[in-house]
Amino acid sequence: MADSNNIAGNSGERSPGKPFVKGDPRCWRKGRPKSFDALRSLAQEIAHEAAKQSKEQGGQPVVIDGHIVSITEAIMRSWAMSKDPRLQQKFIEVAYGQVPSVTRLEGTDGGPIQTQRVPIDLDKLSEDDVRMILAIQAKATVVP
> H helices of the chain, where?
36-48, 71-81, 85-96, 127-140
Which pLDDT does position 83 carry in this prediction? Answer: 96
Closest CA to 130 of 140, 120, 118, 117: 120
Please report, in tens digits, the pLDDT of each residue of the chain (144 residues total). Answer: 444 444 444 455 555 677 778 777 777 777 765 677 888 888 889 999 999 988 888 888 889 989 999 999 999 999 999 999 999 999 999 999 988 888 888 888 888 998 999 998 888 999 999 899 999 999 998 877
User: Residue 52 in 3-state DSSP?
Assistant: strand
- Where are the domains positioned within the chain? 36-96
Which pLDDT does position 4 carry in this prediction? Answer: 46
